[in-house]
Each structure stands twice: as C-alpha cells, then as structure tokens.
Structure 1
Amino acid sequence: MDKNYYKEYYVLEREHWWFKARAKIISNLISKSLKNKENNKLNILNIGAATGKTSDILSEFGTVTSLEYDKDCCDFTNSALNLNSINGSILALPFREEEFDMVCALDVIEHVEDDILGVSEMKRVCKSGGLIVVTVPAYMLLWSKHDEVNHHFRRYTMSSLKKIFTKINLTTIRATYFNTILFIPILAFRLLSKLIPTKFIRVGAGSDATLHNNNSISSKILYQIFKSELALLKLFNLPFGVSIFITSSKK
C-alpha cells in the first residue's frame, strides 16, 4: 500500500460506499459459513488488518488478533485506534500451530508473490476443523491503476483460487463471486481509464475509492445497489463479480 494511500484508507474503510457494503456482505457470508459454531467465542486472526476496520467487522464473532505487514500503516493504526496491531507477514506468521479458530485474509493474498505459501501459513495456525476466510479481487481483465496503487501481484478467477485451496488440502465450504451487479459498469470504467491520463480521473493516491464523494447521491445509490446482493447471496452463489469470497475448513 502506498504511504499516501493508507492515510486515505483509514477514512475510506469507514465511510466509502464500497467498503460499507462489502463489510455487510462479508459479515453475512462468514456468519452463514460458521453455522453451528458459537459466535463471540472464537479466537480469530485477521491478516492484513490495514487501518483496522476489518478487525472491527470480525470482532462480532470473537476475539481478534490483528496483523499488518506495512510497518508505517501498522504504526499509524495503532496510534489512531490503540489497536495493538502486530507487524508481520502472511508468509511467516508469528504464531504457533493450530492457535486460531478462524483465520482471515480479506483482500490480502493478491499482495504477495507466493500466495500458496501465504494460504499454507493460514492453514498452519488454524485449528483442525477451524475456518479459513479469504477474499480477493477477480479477473485480470479488471486490472487498473487501482491494482498498482495497492501493490497487487494478480487478480483471480474462481478456478485459480480454488486450485490453491485444493493443493494444500483444504475443504471448501462456500465460494462465490460478489459485487456482481456493478461488474459491467466497473469493467467499462477500468477499460476506459486505460485510455485517459490518470490525473484527469483519479485524485490522491489514485485508488478507485477516491472517485466518489462519500456523501454524494451517486455514492448512496451505489451503496444500495451493492448491498442488495445480500438477498441474492442468501439464495445462491453468484457466477461472476469484481471480487471472490471463499471459506474453507482445515481437515
């Protein structure tokens, strides 16, 4: 994450329509995947906690340990929130084997070159029968300045993501795309943005999240559209989208 971006990110995680709708969808999908497990009693690891909002989301399910790779971001978050986030890498998690009931990496493994090692480390520190939760950006066709700002190595398809979980012997519980309704307009924008100089359409660090005023009518409409996918996800998995959600169990 660019140093200029994590300061923007702190506000965006809490106010931007995409983050707010995403939080509701992820929370709901995790809740459904937990099923018979008792909420509020889980020992949870949140990898890539960034500026702390995802740890807030996960706290409804138990006690959260936050880990962040970017030292500056980690220091900034600890200062702003008194979160006590641990500075460390998903490639060498500073925890013992089978320490956590649930291990989450929400939009994280695309940031590391060796994503198989990253998920293997998640498996190592997860208890037998525990839950591993991952979200990632979908489709290289959507690659844009946004991915460069976030230091992504790749975007995924469902099949490429599932191959990682299969390779390290994890059992998939739920796998679905999301942010499906807005897929076409987002695709159109990202393809068009490659033809227009960045300075004309992006501000700040250059993330997609800086494109809308958080209080604008368009942002409120986009939030309602994105959030409406909750109703669809209660019925079935979505066949394509801007992001992918997958939960798996350690045998």
Structure 2
Amino acid sequence: MDTVEIQRVVAIEDDNWWYRERRAIIARELRRLGGPPGRAADIGAAGGGNTRVLVEHGWEAIAIDASPEAVELAKRRGIDAYHGDACYLPLSTGDFDFVMALDVLQHIPDDQTAAGELARVLRPGGVALISVPCDLSLWSAHDVALGHVRRYSRESLAALIEGAGLQLDRMWSWNVLLRPVVKWRRHRSAPQGAGRLNPVVNAGLRAVVMLERYLPVRSLPGVTLFARAHRPELTSS
C-alpha cells in the first residue's frame, strides 16, 4: 500500500463500513480471549486504526509497518509505532500474547517466512488473528492495484498457518453476503483507491455486513478469510 493510499485509508476508516466492521471483529476476538490484557503487536498496521482497538481494550500494543510514512502517521495519532519488515520483525521472540496481521500476507512474496515470524514472537499459548483475501476467482485489477501477489483458499491458509508452527483454532469467511456484488463490480470496473462513500450507501453496506454476525454464513464463500490460531504450549519431556 503506497503513501497516498495509506493517507486515504486514515481519512475514511473511522466511518467506512468495511473498516468499522473489521474493527468490530477484532474487538469480539479480544473479548473471547478472556483473562487480563497483555502485550500485543499489529503487523502491517498502516496508520494504526486497528492498533487503536487493542489500546482501547487495555492492551500494551505496538504497530509495525514497512512504510516509514505509515509509521509516522500512526505516531501522530498517539500510537507506539515502529518501522519493520514482516519477514524480519524487530520484536523479541516469545514476548507477545496476541499478534494480528490483517490483510497483510497477500502482499508478501515470502508469506511462509512472515507467518513464521508471527509464530516466533508469540509466547506459548499466545494467539494470532489473521485475515487475507480469498478465492482466486475474485482476482481482478483491484488486487493488482493494491499490490497483492495472491488470494488464499481455506486449504492454503490453513497450510500456511500450520507450517509456521501454529495450531489453527478456527477459520471463517467474512463479507459473504456482499460477495456477488463485489465479484461483479471488480470484474467490470477500473480499480479505485479508498474514498469516502455516500452516507446512505455506507450505512446500507454496513447494515448488510453486520447481518453476518447473526446468520450462519461463515462457512460459505466470502471475500475475506479470517483465521485464529495459537502457538502451542511447551511440553515437558
């Protein structure tokens, strides 16, 4: 994601339906963890919009991004942010209770190394939350414009996570109800950067995607895959 696109995201993410509902997913997953908040890292954090969710829930959170401009934007928003490559995280081994990499791995040619880094920095029992775009049939100029190098299937994402030494807890689809519209639009329209939507359209889209909280659609094909995994506890011999 280039500097202009990061700035656009920062400008719209507080109100935009997609970013708001993604933050709601993060909040729900944090509540499911139970126990007191600990140390967390947001990898590929861009301007730190998701990192703020961690902070709001009491976590000692840091943001990591490969873009120096994104790091500066996050710092200006009061976030503890650092420049770093997802394949060589500037973080101590086994030092984090929770890490998240949301819509990051699809940008990285060597996603195996990046997934291994997520596992490395987690303490035993620590949890990772990952999201990626799914289904190669949805590949379009939109992916090219955003610098994606792949989209994932459930099988390829599971293999990536388990190959990194993490234990997959669950995987689910997101943006299921809007998938037909997304597929139609992306295959017929030129790619567009993030922009502010008409308020009525924005509210309607959010209402649709919020329905997925209550409907049994998470096993159906969507636009995004979410996965929650953990680093196994050490066993004594």
Q: TM-score of the superposition, structure 1-length normalised?
A: 0.86
SS of 1:15 mapped into structure 2:
coil
Contact 1:2 1:149 in 2 (8 A): no
1:124 is matched with: 120
Match of 2:221 in 1: 240
Closer, same or farther: CA 106–214 of 1 in aligned 2, 3 Å = farther
Q: Deviations over 1:118-142 (max 9, x none)?
A: 0100101100011011011111222
User: Structure 1: 5+ residue runs without aligned partners?
Assistant: none
Which AA in structure 1 matches 2:69?
D
| Contact residue 25 and residue 230 of structure 1 kept, 8 A | no
Which one of the candidate residues 141, 145, 161 is aligned to 1:145? 141
Which 4+ stretches in 1 moved above 4 angstroms? none
Going by fraction, where is helix more abundant, 1 or 2? Answer: 1
Matched to 1:2, the amino acid is D
8 A Cα contact 2:40 2:61, kept in partner: yes
Give the drift of 1:76: 2.7
Is 1:64 the counterpart of 2:61? The answer is: yes
Q: Is the 8 A contact 2:44 2:65 kept in 1?
A: yes
Q: Does 2:18 align with 1:18?
A: yes
- Matching of residue 76 in structure 1 with residue 73 in structure 2: yes
3-state DSSP of counterpart to 1:134: strand
Structure-2 separation of matches of 1:190 and 1:236: 22
1:156 match: 152
Query: Secondary structure of the residue that 1:244 maps to in structure 2?
Result: strand
Distance in structure 1 (CA, Å) of the matches to 2:207 and 2:217: 19
Alpha-carbon offset, residue 84 of structure 1:
3.1
- The reply to whether residue 103 of structure 1 matches residue 99 of structure 2 is yes
Partner SS, residue 187 of structure 2: helix
Separation in structure 2 between the aligned mates of residue 97 and residue 136 of structure 1, nearest angstrom:
24
Contact 2:154 / 2:225 at 8 angstroms: preserved in 1? yes
1:153-181 per-residue CA deviation (whole Å, 9 max, x = no partner) reads 11111111001112223211121011101
Q: How far does residue 30 in structure 1 lie from its aligned partner after superposition?
A: 4.3
Q: Tell me which amino acid in the other structure corresponds to 2:213.
A: L
Cα separation, partners in 2 of 1:89 and 1:187, compared to 1, 3 Å: same
Identity %: 26
Q: Which amino acid aligns with 2:225?
A: I
Instruction: Identify which of structures 1 and 2 has the higher relative contact order when contacts are C-alpha pairs closer than 8 Å and 6+ apart.
Output: 1
Task: Tell me whether 1:222 sits opposite 2:219 in the alignment.
Answer: no
Two-structure CA RMSD over aligned residues (Å): 1.7
- CA 31–174 in structure 1, closer or farther in 2 if over 3 Å, else same: farther
- CA shift for structure 1 position 214: 4.5
The offset of 1:246, in angstroms, is: 0.3
Q: Tell me how far apart the structure 1 counterparts of residues 31 and 171 of structure 2 sit (CA, whole Å).
A: 14
Contact 2:174 2:223 in 1 (8 A): yes
Distance 1:58 1:84, change over 3 A: closer
**Which residue identity does 1:11 align to in structure 2?**
A
Deviations 1:52-74 (A, max 9, x none): 11001222152111111111221
What is the TM-score when the length of structure 2 is the normalising length? 0.91
Q: Which amino acid aligns with 2:174?
A: F
Aligned residues: 231
User: Which residues in structure 2 correspond to 1:170-209 (within 5 Å)?
Assistant: 170-193=166-189, 198=190, 206-207=192-193, 209=194
Report if the CA contact (8 A) 2:42-2:100 is conserved: yes
Between the aligned partners of 2:58 and 2:148, the Cα distance in structure 1 is: 29
